[in-house]
Amino acid sequence: MGLCPAGRAGGAGLSLVNRLPLVRGKYIEAAPLADVTWLRVGGPAEVLYLPADETDLARFLGETPDDIPVHVLGAGSNTLVRDGGVPGVVIRLTGAFARTEALGENRLRAGAGALDKMVAKAAAKAGIAGMEYLVGVPGTIGGALRMNAGCYEQETRDVVVEVVALDRAGRRIIAKPDELAYGYRHSGAPADWIFVEAVLQGTADEPSAITERMDAITARRETTQPIREKTSGSTFANPDAPGTPNARKTWQLIDQAGGRGLRVGGAHFSEQHCNFLINDGTATAADLEDLGEEVRARVKHKSGVDLRWEVKRIGVRGKGESK
């Protein structure tokens, strides 16, 4: 594949594309993002970049001017793109970044673009236990590494052996778990790191037993969460880490504050699980964000707790929208 100055689609944003380096991947101008996010809202990326591989991405980062904003979008499961779109470049890691490979010694290498559930399935096939929880985590391994994603008392930091990342200058970094400063739904990795792969480790078990546990997690999610809706999963992180005495649950705080079923425009909080923000098909990004902020304000007033957004919000508000 030769170097590509654009791989262009559309006519907007030419001046930005012309400031970007030659790549082997693809640039797409004014790229719609609503169709690739689970909430199905939001404006376009000024430029969407699909890198061919790690070397291509490193070149892009090293040669892109520092004043050009760069964002990473995984599966779009945990992201709210604002109606005004995203200035600068949005990077999506697909293709070469979505591969998984069993390494032996109960280890698995997973690209940052690999879907969490596919990594869980690859681990099960290889007889590696401990990664079953990933079948219940929407998104990709890159997002799981960034936010220490988890469910049902398991977290990503429990299985990480090492990660590979590129910084904003395109330098390759190999880091161990203690360098990532993991906390509850948080990592202390520098904000400019783009994770490209990770080595994960579990324990040996029979594939059939692992698959059975994964099926139980999937069944539990289907009965307790509105996973068939246009939603991004948990909207806010719990205020207390698992295991904390008298730990408070976000859904309980929202319920107590009258947030269950609360609606703004085409957005509402689920009746089934009131920490899930849902687009009924007519919502704008502003509807969803404004409703989230309204519920945060109600919880703060009722219980004094400042809920922290677990959903990543990127881009700018649309014209005429309040800030």
Residues that are catalytic: 185, 234, 310
User: Taken in order 43, 60, 73, 37, is the CA torsion positive or negative?
Assistant: positive
* Rounded-to-integer distance, Cα 316 and Cα 212, Å: 44
CB 79 within 8 A of CB 289: no
Instruction: Output the six-digit token pair for 202.
Output: 């579990």
Element holding 27 (H helix, E strand): strand 26-31
DSSP 317: P
Order the strands of the 45-50 sheet from edge to edge: 26-31, 45-50, 86-91, 70-72
If phi > 0 it is left, if psi is from -120 to 50 it is alpha, else beta; for residue 280 that is alpha
Instruction: Output the six-digit token pair for 116.
Output: 């969490």
Show Cβ contacts of residue 285 under 8 Å, excluding neighbours closer than 6 positions.
39, 41, 42, 43, 80, 81, 82, 83, 315, 318
Show Cβ contacts of residue 114 under 8 Å, excluding neighbours closer than 6 positions.
97, 98, 99, 100, 140, 141
